[in-house]
Structure 1
Amino acid sequence: MPKTFTDLKRHALNGETMGTRWSALFHKPAEFNVAPVAAAMAAAVTEVDQQMSIWKPDSDLMRLNAAPPGVWVECPEHLMIVLEMAVSIGRASSGAFDIGVGDAVSAWGFGPATLDPARIQAALSEPRRPTHDILELDLPGRRVRKIAPVMLDLSGIAKGYGVDRLTDVARRFQISEALLSIDGELRGIGLQPDGLPWSIAIEDPDFSVRKPLAIVALQDAAVATSGDYRHWIDVGAKRLSHTMDPARGGPLAEAPASVTVIAETCMAADAWATVLMVKGSREGAELARQMQLNSLFVEREGDGLRQTPVGPLFEPADRHPIVVRF
């Protein structure tokens, strides 16, 4: 006799990764053995972290960073996948997404090192070339070469890719309906047992209180948000977010409070949310329309917020919740 959703047990797995936590929510019969799933998911995100972390001196990314220009460096499969996507989105965004801001991230104290005024000045004054012009990828050979000095940082894309890896593991264990996440990057596959999409809260960009701003219902789609309200520093009366402006080598001077992007993969959503944050509300919204990116811009106006949805998935704009299916 086939099982109904009332016969299923809710399984919630989670663990530490990338300075935050990963989670997986799915429903299976009570006798389903979740132990190998939990182990495989933990291993998958650990692998991403070990390959792409700037906090681990022995990561594959830091090994690439340490290599001198002109030297080919062998890189593992997952790092190559992320570098290829990063270079592609960097080129498509005219450099708004640029993974070559590691020097600025470190100088401003958003990496393992503390804030360093001398390094800040160096990052701000250094002539900057877009990374997609100075990073050569040999995909068949799984190797990378820098043709000029650059310090890479994958914090704007690695967590999203980690969520996609969690999704791969879920499917490998015949889990076709699940909600996977790392911090604020999420991906929903299939439907909940009651036939409804996965309801996701888009966070209010409040510096002190975590609360929902809007709801998105996901079915086979991913969502990521970039904002100024999680990680920042105060410089005098100015609050600066962790998102770097690749053109100047420092935190964004003016930016939306947050930008949320919905895409087929979490890696793409993660990277494009950063792009639109860097571009700003006006240019970002225009780029989102051109690229057909489903996005939500949130700006502070006085004591309130202004929301600007862009993309066909947000139409009609007054639909609640927004149901997203790819």
Structure 2
Amino acid sequence: MPKTCSEPLHRLQLHGPTMATRWAVSCDVPPVLDTNALCQALAEAVEQVDAQMSPWQPESALNQLNRAPVGDWLALPAQILEVLARALEVCRLSDGAFDPAVGALVDAWGFGAACDTPDAEAIRAARNAKRLPTPQALELDLAAGLARKHSPLQLDLCGIAKGYAVDRMCAVLTGHGVCHALVALDGELRAIGPQASGAPWAVALESPRAGLRAAHGVIELQDLAVATSGDYRHFVQVGQARLAHSMDGRSGKPVNNGVASVTVLAPRCMDADAWATALLVAGSGQGLALAHRHGLDALWLLRRGEALVELGSGRFAAAASAGTA
């Protein structure tokens, strides 16, 4: 049976490789907890997400759907169907700023599994391809566990899958009776409760300066998730332009709008992940309007020459006073 949170607790650190990066968990647990079983369950949870949703694994459920003929129903696992459903919803709510069907663009610009440099012919083909809007092009039958495409499209879930993996790890932890934990996978994090001491979990907001690993600030989490999307980790330099790995499906180009990073808070990490991507793509003007419309807690760091300017909504609005950093 899961242990209660009234027992004496000690700090446990667990981590492992996945998705070309690493997951990490800090948790306060009773000494009798089977840490080997917990670590194995966490690794299995995140690897299941990778196996289903990775564009780099040829037999992933994602790639099976991408290869499926238009009009044919395909049986899919419940996990990827849950993520696809939320991806389509955020696509609608963000007016297409978040678009899970940018896989061809991701590959063409050299950020995907197909190639690691931009391919001008592939870029033209991807930008000129005629297809239905993504929420119309993909139909889901969640009750039956099925999906089908109504027009050709190449899905890419990299803007939401890592956040979902964090949520799955949180479910594993609570299932083992863990009441105090911080789960991290790249720039996606989620806290279960506070630390055993009662203090919230303090996480660093990374400074979006290429080649520099430093903190821009600190965010405190308790029963809350945070995700950050930016242009400073994965990008290509074309002349004076920095082109981020995040794709704007509406223009057919990588993001290049002066937004260095966007950080979003949400109860679930996959929501924070998807909205951080959407608001990065939308830019500060449309993005701020979206954040206000949907009640999002979001912080933009905008490039203004050599300076960074903060812009915030929700609980970040007061802290972001449009100063430089």
Interval of TM-score (by shorter of Structure 1 and Structure 2): over 0.9
Partner SS state of residue 57, structure 1: coil
Given the alignment, which residue of 259, 263, 267 partners 1:260? Answer: 263
Corresponding letter in the other structure for 1:157: I
2:129 and 2:5 map into 1 onto residues whose CA distance is 63
In the aligned structure 2, how far is the partner of 1:150 from the partner of 1:55? Answer: 17
> Gaps spanning 5+ residues in structure 2: where?
none
Give yes or no for contact 1:100–1:150 (8 Å, CA) kept in 2: yes
Q: Does 1:317 align with 2:322?
A: no
Q: What corresponds to 1:324 in structure 2?
A: none
CA distance 1:102–1:35, shift in 2 (3 Å): same
**Cα distance, 1:316 vs. partner?**
4.1
- 1:37 matched to 2:41? The reply is no
Tell me, yes or no, if the aligned pair for 1:260 and 1:295 is still in contact at 8 Å: yes
Instruction: Answer yes or no: is 1:236 the counterpart of 2:239.
Output: yes
CA RMSD in angstroms, aligned pairs only = 1.7
| Aligned-partner Cα distance in 2 for 1:281–1:127 | 28
| Paired position in structure 2 for 1:187 | 190
Matched, 1:222 2:203: no
Deviations 1:47-68 (CA, angstroms, capped at 9, x unpaired): 0000000000010000000001
Which residue of structure 2 aligns with residue 323 of structure 1?
none
Q: How many angstroms apart in 1 are the aligned matches of 2:5 and 2:289? A: 48
| Paired letter, 1:263 | A
Say if 1:265 and 1:154 are closer, same or farther in 2 by CA, change over 3 A. same
Code of the residue aligned with 1:54 in structure 2: it is: P
Q: Which among 151, 156, 160 is matched to residue 154 of structure 2?
A: 151
Alignment partners' CA distance in 2, 1:317 and 1:138: 43
In the TM superposition, what whole-angstrom CA distance separates every residue of 1:161-208 from its partner, at most 9, and x where no partner exists? 000000000000000110011111000111112210000111110101
Task: List structure 1 segments (4+ residues) > 4 angstroms apart after TM superposition.
Answer: 2-5
1:126 Cα deviation from its structure 2 partner = 2.4
**Structure 1 residue 118 corresponds to structure 2 residue 121:** yes
Which of 175, 179, 184 is the matching residue for 1:176?
179
Equivalent in the alignment of 1:82: 83
Distance 1:173 1:128, change over 3 A: same
User: 1:205 and 2:208 equivalent?
Assistant: yes
Q: Which secondary structure state, in structure 1, belongs to the residue aligned with residue 288 of structure 2?
A: helix
Q: Counterpart of 1:65?
A: 66
Identity rate of aligned residues, in percent?
46
TM-score by length of 1: 0.93
Q: Which moved more, 1:22-31 or 1:160-169?
A: 22-31
Task: Provide the rounded CA distance (Å) in 1 between the counterparts of 2:31 and 2:179.
Answer: 17
- Distance of 1:110 and 1:282 partners within structure 2: 26
1:121 is displaced (CA, Å) by 1.6
Determine the C-alpha separation between the residues in 2 that align with 1:264 and 1:53: 24
* Aligned partners of 1:100 and 1:130 also within 8 Å: no
> In the alignment, which residue of structure 1 is the partner of 2:51?
50
Contact 1:255 1:277 in 2 (8 A): no
Kindly indicate whether the alpha-carbon contact (under 8 Å) linking 2:280 and 2:287 is maintained by their aligned counterparts in 1: yes
Determine whether 1:293 maps to 2:318.
Answer: no
Decide whether aligned partners of structure 1 residues 75 and 194 sit closer, same or farther in structure 2, where only a CA change above 3 A counts.
same
Alpha carbons 1:24, 1:179 under 8 Å: kept: yes
Q: How many residues align?
A: 316
How far apart, CA to CA, are the structure 2 residues paired with 1:194 and 1:176? 12
Aligned residue for 2:307? 304
> Are the structure 2 counterparts of residues 315 and 236 from structure 1 closer, same or farther at C-alpha, using a change threshold of 3 Å?
closer
Match of 1:246 in 2: 249
Distance in 2 of aligned mates of 1:105 and 1:207: 21
Q: State the shift of 1:212 in Å.
A: 0.7
Match in the other structure for 2:95: 94
The aligned counterpart of 2:21 is 20
Distance 1:318 1:233 in 2: 29
How many angstroms apart in 2 are the aligned matches of 1:38 and 1:301?
44
CA distance in 2, matches of 1:293, 1:232: 26
Task: Tell me the TM-score normalised to structure 2 length.
Answer: 0.93
Question: Any unmatched runs of 5+ in structure 1?
Answer: 320-326
Provide the rounded CA distance (Å) in 1 between the counterparts of 2:180 and 2:306. 40
Read off the aligned partner of 2:319 and give its amino acid letter.
A
